[in-house]
Amino acid sequence: MSGEGRAKEEGHGKISRVIRLGTRKSQLARIQTDSVADKLKELYPDVHLEIVAMSTIGDKILDQALSKIGEKSLFTKELENALERNEVDIVVHSLKDLPTALPLGFTIGAVLERESPNDAVVLHPKNAGLTLDALPDKSVIGTSSLRRAAQLKKRFPQLEFENIRGNLNTRLRKLDEKDDYAAIILAAAGLKRMGWEDRISQILGPDDCMYAVGQGALAVEVRARDKDILEMVSVLHHPDTVLRCIAERAFLRHLEGGCSVPVAVHTEVKESVLYLTGAVYSLDGADCLKETMQTIIAPNSAAEECVQDGVHVGVTANNIPASSKAAAEKLGVDLATLLLSKGAKDILTTARQLNDAR
């Protein structure tokens, strides 16, 4: 057990382990980590939890678009270093910030129930009451997401798109206090967790803008060898979210897309069927390949034996039926294979080259 050195003796003679949760220093990261800590506290009242906050490269380089820095594990590297050195035992991330292949020795031990995965429009106060459709021609929309820009450029050709960086607080300040942007696009989940739901003026559905792989779900990253912690956090897994996210991540991995390519998804679970829609776009959205496939998964009540069947696109979920995880992963691979057969590779390669040259 890796935390032995820190076991804490309590007054009544019981030994209980101290569990450290690492987090980025941003307000959103703190809120997300606190929410996982609260859930663990409820489930394991005897465990001592400590929160350790640190800065990451992604927090330090705020003047460049994410997609241009070229560091896949931008927000995660320092936290993983701390995990590796046993300085922390658990790191909470937005799943969409975790690469589909984690560095050796780490795994996602829990994927929590997904918040709304959709993107949302936040308007400059002077535009209150409008929608993207109704904004004046040439209004500037702030987003640094190639995925959002590609889809919205196609759907709203009368609008213009510019990068905006910084954490959520910074972005809202840049929106409100300057006249640079008519609106910005952010994940609804982040806004809700920050308590800023009242700033959402429009939720973008799949016809306007499909979401990023893993968007809206929280992931708990742990040392793959730390069986105690893995078992402890596994009860946080939300089965439908896990299966949707395995399918989405398998799709992205098979496309060889990173967190900064114009790839979008939509998933649903209905009556034991998992549906996955996936799409790739050129930077201006003009070229688009989009398909939907489905697979059958075990009903939630299924009494299938759970086995230790290893890792699925980074996720360890031994308490979820193995056949369902395998079906979800295959669904993602199959959909990616279909899109690749229709020319997805060319679209993504061109998008990457154009973005790198900007």
User: Binders of ligand DPM among 127-146, rule CB under 6 A?
Assistant: 143-145
Q: How far apart are CA 35 and CA 258, in angstroms?
A: 27
Q: Which of 83, 259, 336, 339 binds ligand DPM (CB under 6 A)?
A: 259
Residue 263 or 274: the one with the smaller Cβ distance to ligand DPM is: 263
User: Binders of ligand DPM among 68-97, rule CB under 6 A?
Assistant: 94, 96-97
Residue 202 Cβ, how far from ligand DPM at the closest point, in Å? 14
Residue 289 or 327: the one with the smaller Cβ distance to ligand DPM is: 289
Kindly give the interhelix angle for 344-357 and 322-341, rounded to the nearest 10 degrees: 80
Residue 150 Cβ, how far from ligand DPM at the closest point, in Å? 9
- Direct distance between the N- and C-terminal alpha carbons of the chain, in angstroms, rounded to an integer: 49
Q: How far apart are CA 314 and CA 355, in angstroms?
A: 27
Output phi, psi for 189, to 5 deg: -60, -45
Output phi, psi for 342, to 5 deg: -100, 5
Question: Contact between 285 and ligand DPM (CB under 6 A)?
Answer: no
Q: How far apart are CA 10 and CA 4, in angstroms?
A: 15
H-helix or E-strand containing 90? strand 90-94
User: Binders of ligand DPM among 187-226, rule CB under 6 A?
Assistant: 187, 189-190, 212, 215-216
Residue 38 Cβ, how far from ligand DPM at the closest point, in Å? 17
Question: Which of the stretches 181-189, 194-202, 317-325, 335-343 binds ligand DPM when contact is defined by CB under 6 A?
Answer: 181-189
Size of the site for ligand DPM (CB under 6 A): 17
Q: Specify the long-range contacts of residues 287-295, CB closer than 8 Å, at least 24 apart.
A: 287/347, 288/150, 288/154, 289/339, 289/342, 289/343, 289/344, 289/347, 291/335, 291/338, 291/339, 291/342, 292/335, 293/331, 293/334, 293/335, 293/338, 294/331, 295/247, 295/327, 295/328, 295/330, 295/331
Q: How far apart are CA 275 and CA 328, in angstroms?
A: 9
* DSSP reduced 3-state for 322: helix
Residue 230 or 245: the one with the smaller Cβ distance to ligand DPM is: 245
Residue 206 Cβ, how far from ligand DPM at the closest point, in Å? 15
Residue 182 Cβ, how far from ligand DPM at the closest point, in Å? 16
Question: Contact between 102 and ligand DPM (CB under 6 A)?
Answer: no
Q: How far apart are CA 89 and CA 341, in angstroms?
A: 42
For the question of residue 38 being annotated catalytic, the response is no
Residue of 89, 97, 208, 334 with catalytic role: 97
Location of structure tokens 């089965």: 239
Residue 66 Cβ, how far from ligand DPM at the closest point, in Å? 5
Question: Contact between 147 and ligand DPM (CB under 6 A)?
Answer: yes
Question: Contact between 244 and ligand DPM (CB under 6 A)?
Answer: no
Q: Which of 111, 152, 186, 246 binds ligand DPM (CB under 6 A)?
A: 186
- Positions marked catalytic: 97
Could you list the residues that contact ligand DPM (CB under 6 A)? 66, 94, 96-97, 143-145, 147-148, 186-187, 189-190, 212, 215-216, 259
